[in-house]
Amino acid sequence: MRSLTLLVVVGLVAGACSSDTAPPAPAPGPVQTVCLPEFCIDYPAEWVIEVGEDFVTLNHPAGAEASAGRIDMQGVVEGAGGAWPADGEETMRRFWELLDDLGTADLEELRLTDGAVDTEGRLDDGRLWHRLLPTMPPRAIGAELRGPDRTWEAHAEIITGSLRAPNS
């Protein structure tokens, strides 16, 4: 089960979009909220959303993608050759190592914010923003946005920055 969760997480990230000729991101529209039993996230209304039993995927018509769902911290850490137990910061460093093994990934920024670990960096020819929120390690929830360039940061702040437990 742990390796399946790891494959789903890495698979979602590996589909990162990229383009040297992508137009700048449009300004985010009005914000909506979706909640599942384990988490809630906000998203601009122009995103197309698909809700699964324990995950959400979002696609923007201009070429960005986002997702939110469960993360197995232990699977990520051990999948990258690390030892468990590990904290959220170590988990995210290992996550970026896994991404780099699949392509070209450079972790450029890591911030600890109210128990969450926010990261940003380059993924192949695009950008990735990710938030990890440990719930009961090794269980966690995560949200990410993959866009062609930094102009998607305002969308990432809304989507990844809003990840929270349903009653918080």
- pLDDT tens, N- to C-terminus, the chain (168 residues): 454 444 444 444 444 444 456 789 999 999 999 999 999 999 999 999 999 999 999 999 999 999 999 999 999 999 999 999 999 999 999 999 999 999 999 999 999 998 999 999 999 999 999 999 999 999 999 999 999 999 999 999 999 999 999 987
Strands 126-136 and 139-147: antiparallel
How far is Cα 67 from Cα 52, in angstroms, rounded to an integer? 11
- Token reading at 60: 């923007």
- Token reading at 50: 């698909």
User: What is the pLDDT at residue 18?
Assistant: 42
Estimate to the nearest angstrom the gap between the alpha carbon of 2 and the chain centroid: 18
Contact 73, 140 (CB under 8 A): yes
How far is Cα 122 from Cα 125, in angstroms, rounded to an integer? 7
Using alpha carbons, select from 91, 89, 71 the residue that is nearest to residue 80: 91
How far is Cα 59 from Cα 143, in angstroms, rounded to an integer? 13
Estimate to the nearest angstrom the gap between the alpha carbon of 72 and the chain centroid: 13
pTM for the whole structure: 0.87
Cα-based distances in Å from 79 to 124, 133, 159: 20, 19, 26
User: What is the pLDDT at residue 167?
Assistant: 83
How far is Cα 144 from Cα 67, in angstroms, rounded to an integer? 6
How far is Cα 143 from Cα 121, in angstroms, rounded to an integer? 14
User: What is the pLDDT at residue 10?
Assistant: 47
Q: What is the DSSP letter of 69?
A: E
3-state helix, strand and coil shares in percent for the chain, rounded to the nearest 5: 25, 40, 35
